[in-house]
Structures are given as C-alpha cells and as structure tokens.
Structure 1
Amino acid sequence: MRILHLAPPADAHNGIADYARHWRDAMQGSGAELVCPPLDAGLPPLLEALDQHRIEWIHAELGGGRVAEFEALRQLRQLRPELGFGATVHDPERLIWRAAQLPGSLAWLAACPGPMPQLAGLLDHRRVLRMERRLARQLDALVCMTRRGSEALARRMQLAAGLSYTIAHGNISVPPRPLPPGPLRLLYFGYIYPGKGIEDLLQALAGLRAKGGDQAMSVRLTLAGGTAPDIAFGARGSYVQSLRQQIHRHQLDHVVDWQTDVPGTEIIELIQAHHVMVLPYRESRKLAWLGQMRSTSGALAWATACGRGAIVSDARAFAEEISHGNGCQFRHRDPADLQRRLETLTAQPSLAGEWARHAGQLAVERQWPRIAEQYMTTFTQALQRRHHD
C-alpha cells in the first residue's frame, strides 16, 4: 500500500513526532510505501506527490495542538475524495480542539491580555467542533490508542459505526533487564512542562519521607525528559527553575536527580535503571470547557517496552493502560493519594517486580511490527468497505 503521511517534522520536540517516526519505520517494515512531504510548502507539493507516487491512502497524525495536518487532510479530502483517508487521533475526544485562526469577530481578543485569548477559544469552540465533525465523518478510519479514547471520539464526533478503531501505542523491542539492586528508584520521564503534575509527585515524595522509615527515606526520584525552550519556558519564566525551588523547599535536593534532554540512545538504559515510572499528569481545567482528553502517553509506552511498571494518575486514559497488572493509579491533583501508593510500594517492594513482569508481557504484544500489521489490516478493510459501498 502506498501511503501519504501527514505528520509533524521529524525534529519537532513533541511526543507525536516521536510516534510518527516509529510508525513510519514500522509501516515500511510491513511492506507499505511511505511518502512524507513537509507541510510548510502548502498544498501543491502534496498534490504532486499523490500522482507521482500513485498514493492509495492518506493518513494524518492529529493532536498536540497542531492544525497543519488537519488542514492538509481536510483540503486533500475535498480535492481527492476517491482516495482512502484516515488519522491517528492522539488527543481524543477532539481532533484539534482549537483552530489555527480565530474568525474576525473574535480575532481581536487574541491580542488582549489576561484570560481574553482563552475566552476567544471557548467562544469559537462550537465552530471548531463543527469542522472536526465534518472531517471526521468523511474519513474511512479514525484510530485511537485506547478503547476509552475511541469510544469518546466516536461519541463526540457522532461517528457512524465502524469508523473508530483502537490500536495500542506501539513500542520497540527491548531486551529484558532485571530490576536494579538497592533502594527504590522512581522515574518521571517525558517532556517537562506545566500540567504534568510533577509538583504533586514532589509533594507526595516529601510526605513519604516525613513519615520516616528506612525504606521511605531511601527512595530516590529522577526527573528526566525534554526541556525545549518552547515548552519549558514561558511568560512566567523557567518552569524547570520553579521545580528546583520546590525541591529545595521540600528538602529533597539530595534525593532528586535531574537528567534533562535525554538522547534517544540513552532512554532504554535510563528507564531500566529504575524500578517504577511515575506519571502524575493532571486533567487540564482549561480544556475541560472544550471536552475530555482521553489520550495515553509515549512515556508510558517506553515504560512498557523496557519492562517497567508505572504509577499513573487517573487523568486521560491512563487507567486503561495499567489495567494489565503493570501498575496502579491514583487521583490526579491529589498528592496525598499518590503518597499512599508510594507507601504501599515501599512496604511491598515485590510489587515493582510483579508490575515489571506484566509490563514485559504487554511489551511483546505491542511491538511495532504487530501494531503496523493492525494498521495495515484496518486500512485494507476500510478500502474494501469503500469499494463495496
């Protein structure tokens, strides 16, 4: 199958770009021919690629606050409706959540201070939702990585039966490695910016240590991941610096390690040097006005690939992802609940081994070649259904 892939540039600092790179490699390994033109040159190069490579299927990665892929997919669907069209929706229950540009009647609010830009986005969301639904109903297959995400997307987009699919986040094949010896080592891994709940993790760790006990006092935490300026810095200054101040305030300087901007070649070694990954994500209160985000996490896929369990918040669709015996959950924005999970783990350190074993089993099921096969089957069936109709 010849596929035109609409995705963020390979050098983008976000999880969707990381996913897209692995997806392309896996699809090519399954026999598909992938064409991945840049989107910044507009529509003409895309149309040229369709004819030059005799494209059969156009597939987009949607989410992460980007709209270029959405717009390209929408325009190509209008111009070449005879082709197959699909998307992996990374942030269901919506496709893009916000438009690239506000209509003229609201555009002036974007330049105002304070909450006015957010208000403009809220006032515009019904128009954006109509755009999302219109395109979603014109596609042949919409893929989410969790069942909960697929159900939420189908419900919000008002999709006909058979258009929404669930294909888990793939992971690379990683040789298993035993848990490290010594005290419990926790790892936060992912892009470091507000909304990930790292503050809650620090507070929970401080509470754990305040209770005392040899096991609790020996726990260490590593904060690792990307800190690109566009996500770690903003109008309020450096988010990383604010975390360092919180660490100092909680008297955690000697038990928290930093490993920022981790090279891709070192990710496996980093994760496997720890016992458990902790992802304390928070539900966005701002996005709650627009819908419910039911996505998963590339970091969690890395934990699975490396044979490590995870403690996750109940935000997004994380509960579904650790329902295989590979971890536990706590209430998001609730450091006390997270602290209780850490207390249980320190009291029963064998849990880390049980979670790791189940994660390793899940990793085999989700290796990228298997995921690519599921995508190929989905695309083939969608094209057959289209030709039959």
Structure 2
Amino acid sequence: MRIALLSPLPPEQTGIADYAEHFRSALTALGVEVFTPLHGVSAAGRLAQLAGFDWSQVQLVHAELGGGRLAEFEALDWLRQHQPQLPLTATVHDPERLVWRRARLPWPLSWLERLPRPFPQISALLADPLTLFEERRLARHLSRAVTLTQTGARCLSARMGLAQGQAVAIAHGNLSLEPAALATLDPLRLLYFGFIYRGKGIEDLLSALAQVFQRHPALRGHLRLTLAGGTAPEMAFGPAGNYLDELRDLARQLNLPDCLDWQLDLPADAIAATIQAHHVMVLPYRESKKLGLLGAMRGTSGALSWANACGRGVITSNARAFAEEVSSGNGSTFEQGDIGALADAIEALALHPERATEWAERATAIGLERRWPNVAARFLDVFQSVCRENR
C-alpha cells in the first residue's frame, strides 16, 4: 500500500512531529510505502508542490491535524477541490475542532489583527463562523477522522456533524520498551514531563507541592519533583519574559529548591530512563480560556503515552480527555486549576505510596496494548477499509 503523509516531522520540536515520525516508521515496518510530499517544503513553495506532485501514485492521503498548525488543513482542502477522487483521512489531535482558526482573515477583520490586544482576539471570534464552516466542509469530506480517545471521537462527531462511523478512536501509540521495576518508594519521585512553557499548569504544580509540605513538614526529604522536557525558545522565552526564570523564582519563593530537580532539553534517548527513574508523572494542564470561547479541546497528550510506555502512573488534571486516559486504574485526576485538589492528590499518594506500584502495573499493561506495531496495524485496517470503499 502507498500513502501520502501530510505532517510536521523532526527535527521540528513538537509532540505531533514526534508522533508522526513513530507513525511513519511503524507503517513502513508493515510494508506501507509512505510519501511525505510537503516535508521540507517552504510555505511559499507549498502550492506548487501540491500541484506538481503525482497523486496517482498513492492510494490515500493521511494528515496530522492540530498543534495550532494550518498547513496540513490547507493541503487537505486543496486536495478536496483538486483531487476529489483521492480518499482523505486525518488524525485530529485537538478535537472537537480541526484547526480552530483560519490562516488568513477576510478584510476588515485582517485589519483588526494588526491592532493591540484584544482586537486580534475579537477578530478571531468574529471570523469563527466562517472557520467552523470550512472545518465542517472538510471534515465531512474525510473518509475517516481518527481521534486518540473515545471522548474526542464523540465531541468531534457532534461539532463537525460527522456521519456514524466516520470518526474512529485509535489510542496514541507508544514505543516498545522493556519494563523497569519501581525504585524504592522513599523518596517518592514525581515527574512533570513535556514541553515547558506557559499554559501547562506548572506553576500550579509547584504551589501544590508547597501546600503538601506545609500540611506535612515531615514529608520534606521524602518527596521530590523533577521538571523535565523541552524548552522551545519561541515558547519559553517569548514576549512575556523568560518563563524558566519565573518558575525558578516561584520555586525559591515557595521554599522548594531543595526538593526540586531540573532536566531541561532532555535528549530523546534519555526520555525513557528519566521517566522510569521516577514513580509517578504529574500533568497539571489547564485548558485555554481563549480557546474555550471557540469550543472544548478534547485531545490527549504525548506525555501520557510515554507514561504508559514506561509503565508509570499519572496524576493529571481533568483537562482535555485526560480523565478517560487514566480511568482504568493507572492514575488519578483532579479539577484543573484547583491547586488544593492537586495538593490533595499528591498528599494521598505520598501517604499511600503503594498506589504508585498499582498504577505502574496497570500502565505497563496499557503500554503493551498500545505499542506502535499494534496501533499501526489498526490504522492499516482503517486505510484498507477506506480504499475498498472507494474502488
């Protein structure tokens, strides 16, 4: 089978690029020939590449949609118009919408974009009916829209008006890793893992940990937190200032430096060992209030996939579709943005550390089910089904 993949790929530093690279490798191992016609093509050359590529050599086009990117959405929409016979599928990483915003706003809204806040936000809201119309038009043209959770599939279907069976849930794939036993539970080691930038709730995590120590001073020295992951410059060092310095200042104010470790810009080959050196991952994500005006984001997280692959439980907020991801005994959830509730969850684990072992056992089983060869086989079944339908 031959397919075209429209997606970011490494060395781009995004979770979707990493996902797509594992996806491509796993499909290739199953004998699928994967073309990447837009990889390395500049925005200026994208239209010419779409027009010049020989689409007859592929049986299906699959795209990765999400992460604020628009190139893949625009490419699919071009194919909808210029190659209508070609089956199109996509993994929608941020349901209940496909892309949430337009690349270019019509005049006079484009003029508002150039004004100070809040006018750009107002212009996006005013343009949203047009954005939603274009998303629904493309979504209904897709042979299959794949989401990473059942929650995401339900929400995407409802918002996009999809036909029954058009949305399919296939869990986030994870690497095939050797299990590693938990280290001794004293000290109990917590890990935040992921890209480190504003909006991930990391400040909430630091504040919650400080609350736990205020309630139980004896836990100091028996409970540690590591902040690990990437620090993409455009996100960690943006116009709002140096976010890493802000986190370090907050940690000092909360008297946490002696309980806090940093592993920034973690190399890819060190991720698994780092996660398995800890007992539980903590993901305190908050949903964007700005996006909340446009809909409900019901995606999941690559970090959760890593936790399963490494056989580690998770304490996570109930943002996105995270509650579904830890609903089978591999972790616990708390109300997003509720620092006290997060402190309660950490405290409960610290006082009953055997839960980390129970969660790890269940996460290991989930990780085995979701190894990339298994996930790629499910995608291949979907692709073959779509091709049979389009004969």
Is the TM value for this pair above 0.5?
yes
**Partner in structure 2 of residue 14 of structure 1:** 14
Listed as ranges, the matches of 1:283-298 within 5 Å are 283-298=287-302
The reply on whether 1:145 has 2:148 as its aligned counterpart is yes
Cα distance between partner residues in 2 of 1:3 and 1:306: 31
* Aligned mates of 2:327, 2:31 — CA distance in 1: 32
- The equivalent residue for 1:301 is 305
Unpaired segments ≥5 residues, structure 2 = none
Partner of 2:214: 210
Deviation at 1:211, TM superposition (A): 1.3
Whether 2:183 is the aligned partner of 1:180: answer yes
- Work out whether residues 208 and 216 of structure 1, in 8 Å CA contact, stay in contact via their aligned partners in 2: no
Q: Shift in Å at residue 352 of structure 1?
A: 0.2
Q: Are residue 124 (structure 1) and residue 123 (structure 2) matched?
A: no
Q: For the structure 1 residues 322 and 216, does the alpha-carbon distance in structure 2 shift closer, same or farther, using more than 3 Å as the test?
A: farther
Aligned to 1:94, the other structure's residue is in SS state: coil
| Aligned equivalent of 1:107, options 107, 110, 118 | 110
Say whether residues 1:3 and 2:3 are aligned partners: yes
Match of 1:374 in 2: 378
CA distance in 1, matches of 2:387, 2:164: 16
Kindly provide the CA deviation profile for residues 213-259 of structure 1, in whole angstroms up to 9, marking residues without a partner as x: 53355210000111111111222111111111110110101111111
Deviation of 1:47 (Å): 4.3
Amino acid at match of 1:98: R
Question: How far, CA to CA, are the matches of 1:34 and 1:165 in structure 2?
Answer: 21
Instruction: Give distance in 2, aligned partners of 1:215 and 1:385.
Output: 60
**Could you tell me how far apart the structure 2 residues matched to 1:88 and 1:243 are?**
34
Q: Which residues of structure 1 form unaligned runs of 5+?
A: none
Question: Does the alignment pair 1:69 with 2:77?
Answer: no
Question: Which residue identity does 2:377 align to in structure 1?
Answer: E
Is 1:45 aligned with 2:45?
no
- Equivalent-residue separation in structure 1 for 2:64 and 2:319 (angstroms): 22
SS at match of 1:19: helix
Q: Tell me by how many angstroms 1:98 deviates.
A: 0.6
SS in 2 for 1:86: strand
Task: Return the alpha-carbon distance in structure 2 between the equivalents of residues 118 and 12 of structure 1.
Answer: 27
Q: Deviations over 1:117-152 (max 9, x none)?
A: 111111111100000000010110100000000100
Matched, 1:262 2:271: no
Q: Percent identity?
A: 50
SS in 1 for 2:81: helix
- d(CA) in 2 for partners of 1:76 and 1:44? 13
Any idea what SS the aligned residue of 1:254 has?
helix
* Aligned residue in 1 for 2:230: 226
Single out whichever of 376-385 and 124-133 deviates more from structure 2. 376-385
2:195 to 179, 191, 196: 191
* Alpha-carbon offset, residue 83 of structure 1: 1.4
Q: 2:171 matched to which residue of 1?
A: 168
Q: Is the 8 A contact 2:9 2:21 kept in 1?
A: no
Letter in 2 for 1:174: L
Give, in whole Å, the separation in 2 of the partners of 1:90 and 1:194: 20
Q: d(CA) in 2 for partners of 1:224 and 1:125?
A: 36
The number of equivalent residue pairs is 386
Whole-angstrom CA distance in 1 between matches of 2:8 and 2:180? 33
- Alpha-carbon distance, 1:101 to partner: 1.0
What amino acid sits opposite 2:32 in the alignment? Answer: A
Distance 1:265 1:49 in 2: 35
* Cα drift, residue 175 of structure 1: 0.4
- Counterpart AA for 1:315: A
Which residue identity is paired with 1:28?
T
Q: d(CA) in 1 for partners of 2:390 and 2:163? A: 14
The 2-side partners of 1:166 and 1:199 are apart by 32
Return the match for 1:93 from 91, 96, 111: 96
Q: Distance in 1 between matches of 2:208 and 2:352?
A: 17
1:339 is paired with a residue of what secondary structure? Answer: helix
* Of 118, 134, 139, the match for 2:137: 134
List 4+ stretches of structure 1 deviating above 4 A.
none
Deviation of 1:94 (Å)? 0.4
Given that residues 226 and 262 in structure 1 are in contact (C-alpha distance below 8 angstroms), is that contact kept between their aligned partners in structure 2? yes
Secondary structure of the 2:54 match is: helix
- Structure-2 separation of matches of 1:200 and 1:96: 28
In 2, Cα distance between equivalents of 1:301 and 1:220: 22
- CA shift for structure 1 position 46: 3.4
Please, which moves more after superposition, 116-125 or 138-147?
Answer: 116-125
CA contact under 8 A between 2:187 and 2:221: conserved in structure 1? no
